[in-house]
Chain A
Amino acid sequence: KQEVTQIPAALSVPEGENLVLNCSFTDSAIYNLQWFRQDPGKGLTSLLLIQSSQREQTSGRLNASLDKSSGRSTLYIAASQPGDSATYLCAVRGYNNAGNMLTFGGGTRLMVKP
């Protein structure tokens, strides 16, 4: 059974810092990996999706890497801003009879202080 772990569980940093959020998964047989942002009481916003054949994806100040063999992904946030404060969720998409089930990590709650 796939297990996804995110470290740290919570992070508080001053504005302007570069951040690294970590995600690890136990089963390397994944279809792809996705990073989401969730604001309090809200749904999920997809940030980046990395296919299993890719090593990284970039969008603006965000960069996500994937090392499938070691079961790890990192989300790099450059020049953090207070508006980046949210919970960041990592999810891996595996293979099952229902087709590409998503397994979520516990999330990292990020607080960026002005």
Chain B
Amino acid sequence: GAVVSQHPSWVICKSGTSVKIECRSLDFQATTMFWYRQFPKQSLMLMATSNEGSKATYEQGVEKDKFLINHASLTLSTLTVTSAHPEDSSFYICSARDTFPRQRYNEQFFGPGTRLTVL
């Protein structure tokens, strides 16, 4: 149980285009999902917290107009990188937290990541 998937696994796009990444909780409902970014040989940096049915909370320094997050259902959150540029190339990982009051409520389950390369 507690499986999180991401789609696509990798994507290559031209500069200026927009890319959508999906994060799904497959066997549980997630009121909260988290989006992280990881540059090569660096650790994960939290970008934003996504709550079902409400606006996402962005970390300092993350442009909310560039990284659009939609959490429309209890099993799906999407991250759209708008007008992508080469500096947006990174590994994007999502995680999901089960709904209260399950025992595993405070644990995050991570997706396999999406490799974005912007040419």
Enumerate 17 A-B pairs (CB-CB under 8 Å) in ascending A order.
A41-B91, A42-B113, A43-B6, A43-B110, A44-B110, A46-B107, A49-B107, A89-B44, A91-B44, A93-B106, A98-B51, A98-B57, A100-B106, A101-B49, A104-B43, A105-B43, A107-B43
Q: A31-B106, A102-B108 are in contact. Are A43 and B44 (CB under 8 A)?
A: no
Decide if A106 is an interface residue (CB 8 Å cutoff): yes
Q: A42-B112, A98-B57 are in contact. Are A106 and B43 (CB under 8 A)?
A: yes
Of the candidates B43, B57, B108, the one having the most CB atoms from chain A within 10 angstroms of its own CB is B43
Would you give the 0/1 interface string for B37-50, flagging 1 where the beta carbon is closer than 8 Å to chain A? Answer: 00001111110010
Q: Is the CB of A104 within 8 A of B93?
A: no
Q: Is the CB of A32 within 8 A of B106?
A: yes
Complex Cα–Cα for A45 and B113 (A):
12
Q: How far is the CB of A104 from chain B (nearest CB, A)?
A: 4
Interface size on B, residues (CB 8 A): 25
Decide if B67 is an interface residue (CB 8 Å cutoff): no
Q: How far is the CB of B74 from chain A (nearest CB, A)?
A: 16
Decide if A83 is an interface residue (CB 8 Å cutoff): no
Which of B34, B49, B107, B111 is the one whose CB lies under 8 Å from A43?
B111
User: Of all chain B residues, which has the CB nearest A49?
Assistant: B107
Q: A42-B112, A46-B107, A93-B106 are in contact. Are A99 and B32 (CB under 8 A)?
A: yes
A16-44: which have CB < 8 Å to B?
31-32, 34, 36, 41-44
